[in-house]
């Protein structure tokens, strides 16, 4: 029997909380317990997973409605209603339907009979849901999981083995996948009751972009420090890109804030055979110390400007 988890308590909110309050609570807790800020802390990692699970349900209007009504059995709500529960009230007789009060109680006996085929078959009477003593099959539970990947993992299609629900899966991380993007893996969720179709697995990617870049889709933006003399006289500077290091020419008398585009040096465009661009914002790098010769040269330059 499933264990009831109070998602409202997990996020520290009341049952009356609106979408804005849910989002605010989730963001606050996610920042506090994020694995990147609590490296090696198993308790924080579990808390982070619980927060994500609670948010995934409560931020979805349909899922939240089912959760409020059915408690821990909310994921089987569609199966229950399809079996005749819609508008029928209490499936065991009587005029009143069940009302979830936050304590997880409880449709579980009914669902146990429905899915496990125990307790005398169809709880509405008869030999089974399909008639003729046959048990009705249902699709298995859909599962959700987060997958953290390195920035370098999305530069091309990458194979990786993951473990979800005790089952190992070999998946392909698509090139150019974005942070927060979901991937549906059909038939990789929970097993279907009574031999039914397996559920699906929804993977949410967490892609950490290095601090030196700002990402917008497949395009990247980066600030490049250029020596003052190179900004004035022109020359070349070495720049690191996701695909390697390149030397770029700097025109004479380039101004701070000038933007340059390196075509195709961004990230792969998802599901396409092309890449975005890398935009470089030039920033003059001023010296922090001066030799006697350098000071003399600057003073001479100053005199020339004032003459």
**Domain stop point among 181, 207, 233:** 207
In a domain? residue 103: yes
Residue whose entry in the numeric block shows the structure tokens 């959700």: 144
CA distance 231 to 229: 5
Residues 19 and 110 in one domain: yes
Determine, yes or no, domain membership for 111: yes
Cα(118)–Cα(160) distance, rounded to whole angstroms? 40
Are 221 and 191 members of one domain? no
Is 122 among the domain residues? no
Tell me the torsion sign for CA atoms 153, 154, 155, 156: positive
Question: What is the Cα Rg of the chain in Å?
Answer: 29
Question: What would the two tokens of residue 205 be?
Answer: 């990617």
Same domain, 184 and 108: no
* Judgement on whether residues 112 and 13 belong to the same structural domain of the protein: yes
Domain range for 179 is 143-207
> What is the DSSP pairing of strand 201-207 with strand 143-149?
parallel
| Residue 70 located in a structural domain | yes
Same domain, 90 and 153: no
- Tokens standing for residue 53: 């699970």
pLDDT (tens, 9 = 90+) of the chain, 307 residues, equals 456 788 999 999 999 999 999 999 998 998 888 877 777 788 888 888 889 888 989 998 988 988 888 777 777 777 766 665 544 343 433 333 333 334 444 444 444 444 444 444 444 444 444 444 456 778 888 899 999 998 999 999 999 998 887 788 999 999 999 999 999 999 888 888 778 888 899 999 999 899 999 999 999 999 999 999 999 999 999 999 998 999 999 999 999 999 999 999 999 999 898 999 999 999 999 888 889 998 998 888 888 888 7
Query: Do residues 155 and 101 share a domain?
Result: no
User: Is 193 inside any structural domain?
Assistant: yes
Q: What is the DSSP letter of 39?
A: T
């Amino acid at each position: 029997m499933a264990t009831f988890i109070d998602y409202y308590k997990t996020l520290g909110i009341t049952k009356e909380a609106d979408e804005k309050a849910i989002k605010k609570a989730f963001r606050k807790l996610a920042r506090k317990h994020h694995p990147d800020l609590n490296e090696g802390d198993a308790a924080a990692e579990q808390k982070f997973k619980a927060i994500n699970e609670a948010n995934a349900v409560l931020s979805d209007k349909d899922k939240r409605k089912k959760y409020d009504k059915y408690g821990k059995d909310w994921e089987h709500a569609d199966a229950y209603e399809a079996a005749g529960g819609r508008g029928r009230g209490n499936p065991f007789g009587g005029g009143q339907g069940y009302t979830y009060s936050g304590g997880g109680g409880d449709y579980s006996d009914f669902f146990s009979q429905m899915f496990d085929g125990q307790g005398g078959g169809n709880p509405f009477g008869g030999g089974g849901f399909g008639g003729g003593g046959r048990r009705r099959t249902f699709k298995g539970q859909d599962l959700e999981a987060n997958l953290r990947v390195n920035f370098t993992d999305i530069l091309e299609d990458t194979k990786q083995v993951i473990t979800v629900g005790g089952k190992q899966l070999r998946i392909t991380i698509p090139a150019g996948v974005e942070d927060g993007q979901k991937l549906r893996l059909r038939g990789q969720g929970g097993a279907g009751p009574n031999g039914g179709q397996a559920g699906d697995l929804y993977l949410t990617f967490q892609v950490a972009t290095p601090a030196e870049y700002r990402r917008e889709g497949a395009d990247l933006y980066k600030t490049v420090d250029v020596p003052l003399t190179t900004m004035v006289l022109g020359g070349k500077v070495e720049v690191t890109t996701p695909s390697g290091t390149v030397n770029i020419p700097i025109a004479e008398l380039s101004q701070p804030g000038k933007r340059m585009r390196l075509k195709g040096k961004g990230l792969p465009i998802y599901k396409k055979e092309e890449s975005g661009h890398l935009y470089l914002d030039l920033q003059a790098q001023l010296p922090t110390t001066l030799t006697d010769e350098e000071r003399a040269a600057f003073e001479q330059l100053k005199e020339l400007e004032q003459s």
